[in-house]
A and B are shown apart, each in its own frame.
Chain A
Amino acid sequence: MAIQTMKTALLAFGLTVGLASGVGLASGPALAAGEEVDLINEHFHHEGPFGAFDKAAVQRGYQVFTTVCASCHGAKYLAFRNLGEIGYTEDQIKAMASQYTVTDGPNDDGEMFDRPAIASDYFPSPYPNEKAARAANGGAYPPDLSLITKAREHGTDYVYSLMVGYEEAPADVTIGEGMYYNAYFAGHQIGMPQPLYGDDVTYQDGSSSDIHQEAHDVVSFLHWLAEPKLEERKRTGIKAMIFLVIFSGIFYAYKRRVWADLH
């Protein structure tokens, strides 16, 4: 009996350590130059096992992205046709795409040429390459944002915090040339000037466009962009769970019956 209790205790210990190191490491606070900063815990509609995207927020976020972020950041895995998944109609998508210019070709004369984008085109990146991007941003490189919420620990909370985390630098900190103070960036000095102040866009649906709403919306959009199959995944998951619980139940009953004559 004592052994049994010991085993259970150790198993519990093992599982705790295992989970703490596997999932727990991922849920620790972000590390900023050796010191720990707690991210703002923002609630998003897509969280939880049943969570789905708030399409209105994702659409507003697309507006913030195209108006503010897209002048420096690319989103190369975003095709205009994908916007159908967040509720835009085909005509709206065509109209939105045609505002952008893409390079196509070569044509029959062997020349590359510019034309308005169509639904199957990908969102054009602002700079032709990394060198050009750095040159235009004081040496800092604005990364492509297609996967950003999955490419950082607690990506959604992190990007949200980053957006609202610009502050006056403390007196004892000297800020480098072309750098800005941000409470949540590793080392606190970031090469990105504060992108959002509030009222950077005018929302068509009449929502308030204070900085928190804008940050919330753009992160909702970025997470849809990083994980576009989130809803399909969770829906499939629920079905799989129901099936497996029934499957296990049936096998359990069968196992009990088969073994009954032995015990």
Chain B
Amino acid sequence: MSASHEKPVFKNGMVRWVDDRLPVVTVMYNAIGPGHPTPKNLSYWWNFGSLAGLMLGLQIITGIVLAMHYNPSAAEAFNSVEHIMRDVNFGWFLRYAHANGASMFFIVVYIHIFRGLYYGSYKSPRELLWMLGVVILLCMMATAFMGYVLPWGQMSFWGAKVITGLFGAIPLVGEPLQIWLLGGFAPDNASLNRFFSLHFLLPFVIAAVIILHIWALHIPGSSNPTGVEVKSESDTVPFHPYYTAKDGFGLGVFLILYCLMLFFLPNALGHPDNYIPANPMSTPAHIVPEWYFWPFYAILRAFTADFFFIPAKLMGVLAMFSAILVWFFLPWLDNSPVRSGNYRPLFRKFFWFGLLPCVLVLGYCGGAPAEEPFVMISQIATAYYFLHFLVILPIVSSVEKPEPLPYSITESVLGSDDKATLASGN
């Protein structure tokens, strides 16, 4: 039942022949097969890593086929998307799968991150694993932003204009930098072409970082809901078939949700303005990014007044990027020796009643028009967001008295562990 670390012996002669020369089969066996010992108490919150990997794969496949029919020129981009929707066999499927796939990818990754935040997955010895995850998120955001520009609708154009305009806020080099990024004074053919090129490239960069992410994961192995590290073989089960089965079930449920969006509400998460061709002469009433950027957009817009010589826009930009960059320092901001929020009464309260509602409120404000009361609410929530990571978390982790931890995963599952009794000397 428990996984062993010995080199597997394959029955099939052909497989053995290949594996002796290039041990790809052994690598797979040890990565996601019976050779990967996994804590036996992982909950469904641990399903989202494999789902994220799957979504990247689906996005790459649908994306590559879409790219065969898409035309990245300012004059023809919008038409070529309609050509895909109307004339390409199952083109509507590819495009809706890709557009909604981006949303599903972000849902999955955000849940994956919140799982990590709650269960302290960023703590030693998994700091690099966590930081690589943050790098993946940043790459995903860049990819999604450029992807949204490609249909060259009104929101594509104006979103590109607003976001590249942020670089203009950087002192001295800002304006030349913005022109260099766009290849002109405003988004146009040159911008569209380079965004297409980078949108095609970045997913493969993400795939490479994911390999490092999984590599780093396999050094200590998965954390688990107790946060207590694996102590003996009885704490683990082989990844296959236990977690392949559990992930398979999770996959089915997830695909049901995804397909509900794709087939029955394909435009619910998009903005109607993006069905209007880009028009540099007419500004939409409200320029809003896709929903997955809303919390960060709210932080950006929360800065409305200049501070001495620092313009509001620059502070907004810095705050927006810091909102994610602060996660790089999380392993050192949270000093508690206890990993899992399940055994941290104070941390838990601030997590469920502080951070989570704060992010949801920011998300709501980011999608709302930039008027009162949303601006003020965003300002309060932004302040709280940084307060949580920079002040509350360090204080909580030093004053909190954690609840008693189980001796081992086995004890937490079965209520007792023979080795625990031995260790305590009875």
Contact = CB atoms under 8 A, between A and B. Distances in A.
Contacts of A228: 86
B363 A21 contact: yes
Contacts of B265: 23
Interface string B279-294: 0000001000001001
Given A151-B275, A240-B259, A229 B245 contact: no
A189 to B, nearest CB: 16
B360 A258 contact: no
A17 B260 CA distance: 19
Interface of B is mostly: helix
A10 B357 CA distance: 8
A151 B273 contact: yes
A21 B294 contact: yes
Contact of B268 (A26, A241, A252, A261): A26
A251 interface: yes
Interface residues of A, number: 51
A99 interface: no
Contacts of B294: 21
A258 B242 contact: yes
Given A23-B265, A237-B259, A237-B262, A248 B252 contact: yes
Contact of B364 (A17, A244, A261): A17
B92 A233 contact: yes
Interface in A220-263: 226, 228-229, 232-234, 236-238, 240-241, 244-245, 247-249, 251-252, 254-255, 258-259, 261-262
Contacts of B53: none
Contacts, number: 121
Q: Which of A13, A153, A237, A238 has the most CB of B within 10 A?
A: A237
Interface residues of B, number: 48
B367 A25 contact: yes
A251 B263 contact: no
14 contacts: A17-B364, A25-B368, A77-B82, A143-B276, A151-B272, A232-B92, A240-B263, A241-B260, A247-B252, A255-B245, A255-B248, A258-B241, A261-B1, A262-B40
Interface of A: 3, 6-7, 10, 13-14, 17-18, 20-23, 25-26, 31, 49, 77, 82, 143, 146-147, 150-153, 155, 186, 226, 228-229, 232-234, 236-238, 240-241, 244-245, 247-249, 251-252, 254-255, 258-259, 261-262
